[in-house]
């Protein structure tokens, strides 16, 4: 079982369907931030503040034990404060119906990775009590925020999903859920930390993709949808191939398949995958 559901679902089907995890009383007023200027932490640029200079030094020395220790510490810190889980579009739409207000804003990851101008970068959604206080941190919200009706929010995530971005829910002081991110590799810090360094700031979702090889006609239109390096094209079979241990269960490939050859199955229904997060 998903450890977050175990701890925080409180009888709901999934932890992110439990309204208590969006409740105002969980929202913590942010303290003054620890210094994350470039002089103090060069890795803070590009969303890598979880790993410091010492990590690169250990990498250079091939000190794998030290690297592993730093990774584990980073993961624990992220799980306690700010981590995400992949959610399907369907589940995201349900969450949007549960929580108010919802606003869209500039994506901090893509600003730090690409320097995208804010007007081209409104792909990040915030929700709940914190959104009433966004003006306290104007640099995080360059370009302002735009409050959305639930219908507008659903329309936007559906369009972002169509564009190829993965929906993820993020905690701000676990288990308080305050954000719906729309992520892709390599410009989302969480996907990068997870795939490139094995620091699971982004957990896999509750589903796994399965391909029906009879139905798959080998058109390959799904392959580019995968942001997690789980989909490839089998040259010998001329069909799509999914590495189910690597699949994050976002469902992006499912929606692109013209043959309806890909389905999402419950992670829990596959015993060996049930605890692969």
Partner 1 sequence: MLPKITVDERKCTDPLSCRKCLLICPTHVLGLGTKVGPKKFQEIPRDKFRVAGVRLEKCTVCLDCVKVCPNGAIQVSFNGGVAK
Per CB under 8 A, residues contacting partner 1 are 32-40, 42-48, 56, 59-60, 111-116, 135-140, 142, 186-187, 192, 196
Residue 38 or 272: the one with the smaller Cβ distance to partner 1 is: 38
DSSP 35: P
Give the shortest CB-140-to-partner 1 separation in angstroms: 7
Residue 126 or 205: the one with the smaller Cβ distance to partner 1 is: 126
Give the shortest CB-265-to-partner 1 separation in angstroms: 33
Q: Pairing relation of β-strands 84-86 and 166-171?
A: antiparallel
Compute the distance between CA of residue 277 and CA of residue 266 in angstroms, rounded to an integer: 13
Give the shortest CB-107-to-partner 1 separation in angstroms: 13
Compute the distance between CA of residue 125 and CA of residue 153 in angstroms, rounded to an integer: 9
Compute the distance between CA of residue 268 and CA of residue 110 in angstroms, rounded to an integer: 33
Which tokens go with 133? 């206080």
Give the shortest CB-41-to-partner 1 separation in angstroms: 8
Give the shortest CB-24-to-partner 1 separation in angstroms: 21
Q: In angstroms, what CA-CA distances link 35 with 49, 79, 190, 255?
A: 11, 21, 21, 43
Residue 36 or 149: the one with the smaller Cβ distance to partner 1 is: 36
Residue 3 or 40: the one with the smaller Cβ distance to partner 1 is: 40
Compute the distance between CA of residue 275 and CA of residue 238 in angstroms, rounded to an integer: 31
Residue 191 or 262: the one with the smaller Cβ distance to partner 1 is: 191
């Amino acid at each position: 079982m998903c450890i977050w559901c175990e701890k925080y679902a409180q009888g709901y089907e999934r932890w992110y369907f439990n309204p208590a995890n969006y409740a105002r009383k969980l929202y913590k007023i942010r303290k003054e931030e620890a210094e994350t200027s470039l002089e103090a932490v060069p890795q803070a640029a590009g969303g890598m503040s979880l790993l410091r200079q010492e990590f690169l030094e250990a990498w250079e020395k091939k000190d794998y034990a030290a690297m592993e220790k730093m990774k584990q510490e980073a993961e624990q810190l992220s799980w306690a404060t700010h981590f995400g889980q992949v959610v399907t579009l369907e589940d995201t739409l349900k969450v949007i119906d549960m929580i108010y207000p919802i606003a869209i804003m500039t994506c901090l990851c893509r600003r730090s990775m690409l320097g995208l101008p804010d007007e081209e970068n409104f792909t990040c959604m915030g929700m709940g009590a914190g959104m009433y206080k966004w003006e306290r941190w104007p640099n995080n919200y360059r370009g302002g925020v735009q409050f959305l009706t639930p219908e507008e929010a659903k329309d936007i995530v559906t369009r972002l999903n169509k564009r190829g971005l993965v929906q993820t829910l993020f905690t701000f002081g676990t288990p308080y859920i305050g954000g719906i991110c729309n992520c892709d590799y390599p410009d989302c810090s969480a996907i990068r930390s997870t795939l490139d360094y094995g620091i699971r700031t982004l957990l896999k979702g509750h589903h796994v993709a399965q391909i029906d090889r009879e139905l798959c006609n080998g058109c390959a239109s799904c392959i580019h949808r995968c942001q997690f390096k789980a989909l490839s094209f089998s040259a010998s079979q001329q069909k799509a191939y999914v590495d189910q241990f690597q699949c994050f269960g976002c469902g992006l490939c499912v929606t692109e398949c013209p043959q309806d050859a890909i389905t999402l199955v419950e992670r829990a229904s596959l015993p060996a995958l049930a605890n692969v997060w």
